[in-house]
């Protein structure tokens, strides 16, 4: 039997958005369905620990500390003084032993993060996001600039996509450690298209920027998951290779000190990180979602913006995380259409009647059943699945992956299995099933077929591929109705071809904000990172549905961010609780005062001089403000948005 992906996959839970009701308040309708890939119980990379030593520890002592734990160095973050090591035994025990050594500042797991997207819903309208954020009005100011580089730290980009290729520049693949960061998943390509699909070219969609440099930094694999060490390396790569903006539509792991230190490092001081708030429908204030929460207390990194998702009605999306102290603003993230890799289908099986040609074993007592009005392959027609591992396989090869890359299985699956114990899915083999790779799904699909994909790029280039269905169950007596497999396709990337997809998630909201950040830099290339963040956070459209949910109380507005002539957006919202941390600007020049206020993520409502008074030979003389005049002790500072307690510092 092959090793499969139960132990090897770095995938984590994928949330199916089957939600109704107003976001952030009481939920109504069906609850969210938690659907779990095989390997989803792994929260961190097995056998790996990241170690940070105290600054005064010499190299010899560092080596001795690691040697005492039989730890082997895998990689190092030289800029932030951390090392990733392989340890013997349990990760928990190794962390405890390392942290007990006075030379060690911290020891943490190498967390697994995942792309923050949710499954498609084809009933959602398309192409509404750009109008919502007033991008057409912003384009009267600028359509972007090739002098601005945005790093897409994600699953990669379909670099030869006709709607992206003119804007893509060189990047790096930290998953396979090469210079070919092509996308084997689709998530990163979708994000890239929202930021910068080529505009006015008569092809497909237009991004927030028509012209921009998109840097692909691949840190997530074909299943959309990756380690915190790879993501940290990706952040540092982006900062040191000219990216003024990083879009990271990912999250899910725990607090990871090297990642926080990388964002806070001098190398990244000139880079704005635009990050996804997460798709769990919870408050990031009480349940931190990293890396987004590095911008919130206690870290308060000033170069982080955290983005929630809104729908077509400007309501916080049901799945979106929120938090008045941790999430800055919202942007369109429901039913967003953007670029996607194109595929060649090399094999298709619809399991229509009559069907034959696969070898059945164990619980696969019959090849076809009628489920939900369609024929499909089932593991156990008419009853619950059996214990153990059973298969239905094509004994002869059905396709060749020779010369192909990014190969995957796409299929429809209805399943009901014991969560995190039993899995229903597909399997592929390049040697007639002497060995095989497989991926399954655990939990319940709610009685419906879901469209799913599984990454099999580890079989890229194999001259012959056999395919099968698999039921992987443990030995306990808890079973369900098993799996129904339909419309199976084996496919690989199709070079230089167009693909598009409509999906939802805070992953889709985040690139709207990153795209607007790039527009702002195109219009104001001298802006510092603080000014860039202030331009975005100080120009949102206030929405009642977002008040008390995100720090600004508003949704992204591109036109106002670039300083364009924009339709009236209504009066500013009333003060939020708590408002921003207001710096002491008494005695400062007006320009300096504005800069300091905005650097604190404070939205500037009004800042004005108040005529000060002075005595002259016993008389009170009123002074009028002049250019360059400093603010007097009774100057008015009217602020109506921000983070932190309302106090002078």
Residue 122 inside a domain? The answer is no
Mean pLDDT of 424-444: 92
Confidence of residue 522 (pLDDT cuts 50, 70, 90): very high
More confident residue, 118 or 306: 306
pLDDT of residue 167: 97
Does 161 share its domain with 289? yes
**Which of the residue ranges 283-297, 350-364, 383-397 has the most confident prediction, judged by mean pLDDT?**
283-297
Does 95 share its domain with 193? no
Give the angle 118-348-492 at the CA atoms, nearest 5°.
Answer: 65
Beta bridge partners of 604: 639
The two tokens of residue 310 are 């809104």
Does 184 share its domain with 260? yes
Residue 178 inside a domain? The answer is yes
Residue 570 inside a domain? The answer is no
The two tokens of residue 376 are 């499909």
**Whole-Å CA distances, 255 to 113, 250, 258, 310, 361:** 11, 14, 9, 26, 45
Residue 521 inside a domain? The answer is yes
Residue at a domain's end among 443, 464, 493? 493
Residue located via tokens 């539509």: 249
pLDDT over 80 at 299, yes or no: yes
Q: Is the peptide bond before 354 cis (omega within 30 degrees of 0)?
A: yes
**Which of the residue ranges 232-236, 603-607, 635-639 has the most confident prediction, judged by mean pLDDT?**
232-236
Starting at the edge strand that comes first in sequence, how are the strands of the sheet with 359-360 ordered?
14-16, 33-37, 437-443, 423-429, 466-472, 389-393, 359-360
pLDDT of residue 1: 37
Could you report the per-residue pLDDT of 483-503, keeping only the tens digit for each?
Answer: 889 899 999 999 999 899 989
Q: Considering the chain, what is the average pLDDT of its residues?
A: 80
pLDDT over 90 at 558, yes or no: yes
pLDDT of residue 354: 64
Does 249 share its domain with 293? yes
Does 107 share its domain with 252? no
Could you report the per-residue pLDDT of 169-202, keeping only the tens digit for each?
Answer: 999 999 999 999 999 999 999 999 999 999 888 7
Q: In angstroms, rounded to a whole number, what is the distance separating the alpha carbons of residues 209 and 207?
A: 5
What is the maximal distance between C-alpha atoms in the chain? 108
Q: In angstroms, rounded to a whole number, what is the distance separating the alpha carbons of residues 164 and 182?
A: 12
pLDDT of residue 82: 84
CATH of the domain at 107: 3.30.70.80
Mean pLDDT of 137-154: 94
Structural domain including 531 reads 129-341+501-562
Does 546 share its domain with 582? no
Residue at a domain's end among 81, 113, 145? 113
Does 154 share its domain with 289? yes
Does 518 share its domain with 370? no
Q: In angstroms, rounded to a whole number, what is the distance separating the alpha carbons of residues 60 and 156?
A: 38
Residue 9 inside a domain? The answer is no
pLDDT over 60 at 242, yes or no: yes
Residue 105 inside a domain? The answer is yes
Confidence of residue 584 (pLDDT cuts 50, 70, 90): low
pLDDT over 50 at 87, yes or no: yes
**Which of the residue ranges 1-5, 15-19, 420-424, 608-612 has the most confident prediction, judged by mean pLDDT?**
420-424
Least confident interval from 16-25, 238-247, 514-523: 16-25
pLDDT over 80 at 21, yes or no: no
Does 374 share its domain with 487? yes
Least confident interval from 52-61, 296-305, 405-414, 420-429: 52-61
CATH of the domain at 242: 3.40.50.200
Residue located via tokens 């190398």: 267
CATH of the domain at 413: 2.60.120.260
Q: Looking at the 3D structure of the chain, how many domains does it have?
A: 4
pLDDT over 70 at 280, yes or no: yes
Residue at a domain's end among 88, 113, 138? 113
Q: Classify strands 408-416 and 450-455 as parallel, antiparallel or unpaired.
A: antiparallel
Residues whose CB falls within 8 Å of the CB of residue 518, separated by 6 or more in sequence, listed in order = 144, 145, 148, 150, 195, 196, 208, 209, 212, 244, 245
Does 321 share its domain with 336? yes
pLDDT of residue 94: 86
Does 480 share its domain with 540? no
pLDDT of residue 368: 56
Residue 627 inside a domain? The answer is yes
Mean pLDDT of 17-35: 29
Does 405 share its domain with 477? yes
Residue 520 inside a domain? The answer is yes
Mean pLDDT of 82-107: 86
pLDDT over 50 at 38, yes or no: yes
The CA-to-CA distance between both ends of the chain, in Å, stands at 64
The two tokens of residue 183 are 């996308």
Q: In angstroms, rounded to a whole number, what is the distance separating the alpha carbons of residues 483 and 478?
A: 15
């Amino acid at each position: 039997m092959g090793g499969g992906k139960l132990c090897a996959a770095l995938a984590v839970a994928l949330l199916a958005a089957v939600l109704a009701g107003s976001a952030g308040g009481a939920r109504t309708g069906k609850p969210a369905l938690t659907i779990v890939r095989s390997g989803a119980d792994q929260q961190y990379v097995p056998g790996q620990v990241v170690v940070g030593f105290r600054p005064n520890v010499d190299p010899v002592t560092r080596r001795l500390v690691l040697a005492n734990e039989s730890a082997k160095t895998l990689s190092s973050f030289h800029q932030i003084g951390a090392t990733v090591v392989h340890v013997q035994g349990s990760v928990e025990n190794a962390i405890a032993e390392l942290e007990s050594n006075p030379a060690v500042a911290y020891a943490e797991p190498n967390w697994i993060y995942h792309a923050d997207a949710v499954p498609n819903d084809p009933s959602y309208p398309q192409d509404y996001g750009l109008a919502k954020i007033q991008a057409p009005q912003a384009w009267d100011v600028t359509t972007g600039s090739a002098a601005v580089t945005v790093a897409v730290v994600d699953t990669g980009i379909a670099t030869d996509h006709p709607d992206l290729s003119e804007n893509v520049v060189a990047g790096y693949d930290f998953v396979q450690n090469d210079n070919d960061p092509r996308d084997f998943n689709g998530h990163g390509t979708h994000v890239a298209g929202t930021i910068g699909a080529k505009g006015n070219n008569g092809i497909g969609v237009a991004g927030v920027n028509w012209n921009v440099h998109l840097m692909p930094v691949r840190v997530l694999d074909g299943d959309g998951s990756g380690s915190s060490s790879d993501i940290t390396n990706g952040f540092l790569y982006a900062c040191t290779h000219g990216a003024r903006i990083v879009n990271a539509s990912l999250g899910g792991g725990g607090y990871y000190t090297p990642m926080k230190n990388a964002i806070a490092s001098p190398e990244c001081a000139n880079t704005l990180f635009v990050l996804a708030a997460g798709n769990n429908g919870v408050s990031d204030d009480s349940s931190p979602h990293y890396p987004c929460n590095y911008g919130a207390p206690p870290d308060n990194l000033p170069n982080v913006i955290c983005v929630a998702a809104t729908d077509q009605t400007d309501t916080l999306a049901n799945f979106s995380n929120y938090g008045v102290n941790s999430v800055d603003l919202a942007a369109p993230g429901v039913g967003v259409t953007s670029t996607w890799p194109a595929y060649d289908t090399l094999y298709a099986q619809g399991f229509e009647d009559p069907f034959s040609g696969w070898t059945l074993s164990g619980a696969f007592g019959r090849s076809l059943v009628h489920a939900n009005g369609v024929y499909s392959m089932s593991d156990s027609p008419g009853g619950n699945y059996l214990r153990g591992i059973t298969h239905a396989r094509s004994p002869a090869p059905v396709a060749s992956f020779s010369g192909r890359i990014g190969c995957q299985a796409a299929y429809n699956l209805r399943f009901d299995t014991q969560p995190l114990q039993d899995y229903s899915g597909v399997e592929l083999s390049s040697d007639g099933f002497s060995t095989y790779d497989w991926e399954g799904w655990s939990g319940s699909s709610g009685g419906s077929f879901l469209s799913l994909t599984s990454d099999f790029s580890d079989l890229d280039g194999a001259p012959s591929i056999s395919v099968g269905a698999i039921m992987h169950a443990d030995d306990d007596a808890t079973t369900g109705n098993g799996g129904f497999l339909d419309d199976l396709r084996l496919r690989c990337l199709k070079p230089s071809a167009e693909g598009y997809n409509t999906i939802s998630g805070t992953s889709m909201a985040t690139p709207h904000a990153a795209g607007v950040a790039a527009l702002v830099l195109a219009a104001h290339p001298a802006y510092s990172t603080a000014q860039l963040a202030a331009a975005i956070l100080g120009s949102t459209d206030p929405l009642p549905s977002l008040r008390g949910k995100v720090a600004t109380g508003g949704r992204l507005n591109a036109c106002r961010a670039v300083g364009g002539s924009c339709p009236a957006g209504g009066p500013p919202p009333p003060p939020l609780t708590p408002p921003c941390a207001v710096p002491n600007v008494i005695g400062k020049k007006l320009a300096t005062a504005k800069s300091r206020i905005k650097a604190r993520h404070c939205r500037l409502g009004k800042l004005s001089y108040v005529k000060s008074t002075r005595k002259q030979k016993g008389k009170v003389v009123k002074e009028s403000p002049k250019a360059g005049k400093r603010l007097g002790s009774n100057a008015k500072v009217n602020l109506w948005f921000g983070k932190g307690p309302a106090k002078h510092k």
